[in-house]
């Protein structure tokens, strides 16, 4: 089983914290879709006939696509791949795009799961992040989605925003609990290099992120999710029983996937490759019958580090039994202090991050890498 990721590189406006590839101009939209369909054909053999169990429209803002455009992309995928009958087909969406008419179109196009970028129901937070929607639109988009019949919904929230009090963060979560949203992704606000947010903070035009606040709100997040019966199955992801995100779970479990569109990444088990992060260059290369991408062959060390990183981030942990003798020796030297300090738990030859360990997951994983 494998997955396909489609990168839609267009947005209405730039969120201040975002470092993904996108354009706020729709100038190349039609040419992009033509090129995307060609890339799907050019890459038809990348997954070597594996059945597709998940398709994910990411971005950017895929909800800017018309229903007809989504349908022709899915038709192309079905033409060149065997797609499982009950495959998960996710579309990332902004709340301001999700009126009832648009939702009915999305449902008719083949989308069966929505990932809605709410981020917050607090106006101050949304303005700080420069989101294109307001709090009322955020709540209305969820109610509209449920009323139209979308049952498989994921909502993104961001914590650690300087404008977000602990009380407001809890209110954000309680709103989602009240709507019985089955999947919630919560991300700590990160100041990425070369983003408008970094520039504004450096120039003291806006408030900086407080790491103490972020850690406190992450602890609050874990407590509230557990109290409401959500499974904390990956550092930033929570779901009601058995409502995992199939596509992203496959990433963490090391399954193969094909990425199409500018900046999209692909993985076949032995190498990774990623397309050029420029819309015009992407379109030119594809329409000329070739592809512009970079390729990285994965060494044994790379594969170990990736298994470690993805495994420790999840509730399934990192299975030491799958390691070579030298990898086990490396781990035994590096992991003992984290076990003693209760950051890592060892059960049945599998390593798991404790709640304490999840607070510093990136530091622990980096320390355990084979360098």
Quote the mean pLDDT of the chain. 95
pLDDT exceeds 90 at position 101: yes
The pLDDT score that the predictor gives to residue 27 is: 84
Section 18-45 average pLDDT: 91
pLDDT exceeds 90 at position 23: no
Per DSSP, 1 falls in state -
pLDDT exceeds 90 at position 265: yes
Span of 75-79, 109-113, 181-185, 330-334 with lowest mean pLDDT: 330-334
The pLDDT score that the predictor gives to residue 148 is: 97
The pLDDT score that the predictor gives to residue 7 is: 97
Total Cβ atoms within 10 A of residue 152: 18
Q: DSSP strand E in 249-306: where? A: 257-260, 265-267, 271-275, 293-297
Section 255-260 average pLDDT: 97
pLDDT exceeds 90 at position 261: yes
pLDDT exceeds 90 at position 149: yes
Tell me the chain's radius of gyration from C-alpha atoms: 21
Q: Tens digit of pLDDT for each residue in 294-349?
A: 999 999 999 999 999 999 999 999 999 999 999 999 998 899 999 999 999 999 99
- CATH class for the region spanning 2-252: alpha beta
Per DSSP, the three-state class of 370 is coil
Section 250-271 average pLDDT: 96
pTM score, whole prediction: 0.95
Span of 15-29, 84-98, 227-241, 337-351 with lowest mean pLDDT: 15-29
pLDDT exceeds 90 at position 14: no
Section 22-32 average pLDDT: 87
Break the chain into its structural domains and give their ranges.
2-252, 317-368
Total Cβ atoms within 10 A of residue 198: 15
d(CA 168, CA 345): 33
d(CA 40, CA 10): 19
| Cα–Cα nearest to 52, from 242, 254, 256, 302 | 256
User: 30 Cβ partners below 8 Å, 6+ apart?
Assistant: none
């Amino acid at each position: 089983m494998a997955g396909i990721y489609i990168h839609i590189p267009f947005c209405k406006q730039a969120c201040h914290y975002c470092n993904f590839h996108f354009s706020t101009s729709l100038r190349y939209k039609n040419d992009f879709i033509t090129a995307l369909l060609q890339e799907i054909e050019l890459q038809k053999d990348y997954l070597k006939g594996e059945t597709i169990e998940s398709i994910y429209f990411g971005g950017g803002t895929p909800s800017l696509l018309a229903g007809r455009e989504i349908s022709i992309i899915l038709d192309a995928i079905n033409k060149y791949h065997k797609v499982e009958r009950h495959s998960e087909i996710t579309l990332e969406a902004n709340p301001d795009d999700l009126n009832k008419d648009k939702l009915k179109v999305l449902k008719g196009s083949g989308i069966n799961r929505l990932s809605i970028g709410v981020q917050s129901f607090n106006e101050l937070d949304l303005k700080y992040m420069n989101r294109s929607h307001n709090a009322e639109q955020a709540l209305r988009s969820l109610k509209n989605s449920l009323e139209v019949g979308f049952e498989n919904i994921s909502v993104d929230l961001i914590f650690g925003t300087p404008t977000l009090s602990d009380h407001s963060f809890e209110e954000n979560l309680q709103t989602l609990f009240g709507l019985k949203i089955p999947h919630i992704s919560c991300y700590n606000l990160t100041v990425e290099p070369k983003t408008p947010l970094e520039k504004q903070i450096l120039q003291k035009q806006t408030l900086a992120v407080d790491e103490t606040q972020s850690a406190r709100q992450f602890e609050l997040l874990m407590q509230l999710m557990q109290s409401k019966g959500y499974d904390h199955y990956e550092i930033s992801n929570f779901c009601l029983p058995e409502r995992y995100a199939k596509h992203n779970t496959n990433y963490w479990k090391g399954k193969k996937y094909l990425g199409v569109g500018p900046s999209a990444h692909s993985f076949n088990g032995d190498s990774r490759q990623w397309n050029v992060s420029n819309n015009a260059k992407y379109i030119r290369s594809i329409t000329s019958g070739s592809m512009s991408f970079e390729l990285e062959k994965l060494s044994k060390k790379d594969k170990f580090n990736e298994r470690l990183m993805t495994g420790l981030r999840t509730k399934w942990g990192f299975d030491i039994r799958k390691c070579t003798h030298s990898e086990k020796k490396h781990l035994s030297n590096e992991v003992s202090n984290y076990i003693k300090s209760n950051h890592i738990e060892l059960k049945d030859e599998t390593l798991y991050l404790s709640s304490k360990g999840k607070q510093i997951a990136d530091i622990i994983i980096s320390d355990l890498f084979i360098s």
